[in-house]
Amino acid sequence: MKKLICCLLFGALAVVMNANEASATSDINKTFIAKYNVKEPKTDSEKALSALAAKAKCNVCHIGKKKKDRNEFGQAIAKLVDKDEMKALKSAKKTEELTKMITDALNKVEKEKNKAGKTFGELIKAGKLPGGEPK
């Protein structure tokens, strides 16, 4: 009986720890959606980006199934956003600071070029996913 209780407690702890990390990084996705009018697109390029982002979901920044595997856009964002700082802001309920930090990172990344020589901002304005189509 003690083993069962210990297993359940460790399982619950693992779920809580992973949920915290996922919710912190989902703030990047939420900020991306808000910044680029993905929820309420008005222009044709916003509508195209919205459709692609809805299909790609986490793969706007990631490739594959592991969260550590990022596309070019995700790698650029990861260089600018400190995961521990995000977690600290999230747990302190400093939503405005967290959103500002992510928005600042997105603004900087827009100016960076991908391997093909296009800036991420150009791709977004053209209605394309900045990290390319998910595979």
Flag whether 130 is in a domain.
Answer: no
**Structural domain count, the chain:** 1
pTM tops 0.85? no
Domain range for 60 is 2-125
**Are the CB atoms for 76 and 109 separated by under 8 Å?**
yes
Flag whether 119 is in a domain.
Answer: yes
Flag whether 76 is in a domain.
Answer: yes
Q: What single DSSP character describes residue 37?
A: T
Flag whether 80 is in a domain.
Answer: yes
Q: Which of 76, 47, 71 is nearest to 60 (CA)?
A: 71
Question: Rounded mean pLDDT of 76-96?
Answer: 94
Q: Is the pLDDT of residue 104 over 70?
A: yes
* Percent of the chain topping pLDDT 70: 81
Q: Is the pLDDT of residue 5 over 70?
A: no
**Are the CB atoms for 127 and 135 separated by under 8 Å?**
no
Location of structure tokens 């995961």: 83
* Percent of the chain topping pLDDT 90: 73
- pLDDT for 36 equals 94
Q: Which of 130, 127, 134 is nearest to 57 (CA)?
A: 134
Location of structure tokens 């969260």: 67
Flag whether 131 is in a domain.
Answer: no
Flag whether 99 is in a domain.
Answer: yes
Overall size of the chain counted in residues = 135
Q: Is the pLDDT of residue 112 over 70?
A: yes
Flag whether 135 is in a domain.
Answer: no
- Categorize the per-residue pLDDT at 45 as very low, low, confident or very high, splitting at 50, 70 and 90: very high
- pLDDT for 2 equals 58
Helix (H, G, I), strand (E, B) or coil at 21: helix
Average pLDDT, the chain: 85
Q: Which residue has the higher pLDDT, 132 or 24?
A: 132
Q: Is the pLDDT of residue 9 over 50?
A: no
d(C-alpha 61, C-alpha 72), whole Å: 8
**Are the CB atoms for 127 and 45 separated by under 8 Å?**
yes
